[in-house]
A and B are shown apart, each in its own frame.
Chain A
Amino acid sequence: GAVVSQHPSRVICKSGTSVKIECRSLDFQATTMFWYRQFPKQSLMLMATSNEGSKATYEQGVEKDKFLINHASLTLSTLTVTSAHPEDSSFYICSALTGQNTEAFFGQGTRLTVV
């Protein structure tokens, strides 16, 4: 199957700083990528849909100025958590759709801890 690489796998940052998470499709071009957030022992909550070359579509309740998404190429989408606070600590997962758009492949996830 297609491979999606997410980096970093773990990051610790100080409150008030910004953190960038990368999501790369390694062996296919992904016109659409998704960003999810997962709280401990809970399900995945979609944050935004990222389309190459256009603005991301955010889900209701997600602050677009806080969670900046850039999808500048067909193989890379980035999520930047700006001015991070402890409540932003979470597991962030990306997924990417292949050209057939019938299956999403997931990255390994990023554990963000804000101290």
Chain B
Amino acid sequence: AQSVTQPDIHITVSEGASLELRCNYSYGATPYLFWYVQSPGQGLQLLLKYFSGDTLVQGIKGFEAEFKRSQSSFNLRKPSVHWSDAAEYFCAVGGGNEKLTFGTGTRLTIIP
């Protein structure tokens, strides 16, 4: 069965500092991997996705993620966070038209 682990429940980062959110997955085949962001009371917005090819994926809002098969990881990074990045971030794994399995989420707080 597929699963996703986001080990950090809550992360606090200063504005302008770099960010890395961790994601580890378990999947039987080559996974499709996603990062979503959710603002309070809102739906999910896709930040980026990995299907195949280049293991470093660029997304919207300056985010990127690197797929590391050997570590079963797909960590999300941003070189310099902005106050507007404060939100809940979800990593998800799935395959094609299969259902997505989400991690438990990481809440990001930005301090001035």
A104 touches B104 (CB 8 A): no
**Is B53 on the interface with A (CB-CB < 8 A)?**
no
| SS of A interface (majority) | strand
Q: Is the CB of B99 within 8 A of A46?
A: yes
Contact of A109 with B97 at beta-carbon distance under 8 Å, contacts A43-B103, A102-B51, A103-B49 already known: no
Q: Interface 1/0s, chain B 73-97, versus A by CB < 8 A?
A: 0000000000000000010001011
Whether A102 contacts B43 by the Cβ 8 Å rule is no
Could you give, for residues 84-115 of chain A, a 1 whenever the CB lies within 8 Å of some chain B CB and a 0 otherwise?
00000001010101000111111111010000
Q: Which of B42, B104, B107 contacts A108 (CB 8 A)?
A: B42
Instruction: Say yes or no: B104 contacts A43, CB within 8 Å.
Output: yes
Check if A44 sits within 8 Å of B102, measured CB to CB: yes
Query: Beta-carbon contacts of A42-53 to B below 8 Å, as 1s and 0s?
Result: 111010010000
